[in-house]
Structure 1
Amino acid sequence: MENLQQNNKCQELTRSLIKQIQEVFIQHLSIQFFEQK
């Protein structure tokens, strides 16, 4: 049971990490796009 909780926590961390990376990536893309104009 404890193992399952750890697994859930790990998945939550992974999801939040992916979300952060996506946001930073999108910001980076939009900055590059604006600099090209």
Structure 2
Amino acid sequence: MHTMMLIAGLTDYAKRRQGEVGVRITQRTADKYERLLRYLK
């Protein structure tokens, strides 16, 4: 149950960060969030 909540929250967070590429963060940083999400799944 907690694992699914963590993955759902991280998915939302990664999507928000992807929208900030070029403004607040680099693409490389956004890719790290996506990679972490893949590892957890």
Normalising by the residue count of structure 1, what TM-score does the alignment of the two structures yield?
Answer: 0.55
Structure with the greater alpha carbon radius of gyration: 1
Q: State percent identity of aligned pairs.
A: 0
Q: Which runs of 5+ in 1 are unaligned?
A: 1-8, 33-37
Q: Which runs of 5+ in 2 are unaligned?
A: 24-41
The structure with the largest helix share of the pair is: 1
Q: How many residues align?
A: 23
Normalising by the residue count of structure 2, what TM-score does the alignment of the two structures yield?
Answer: 0.50
Q: Supply the RMSD in Å over aligned alpha carbons.
A: 1.1
- The letter for the 1-side match of 2:21 is L
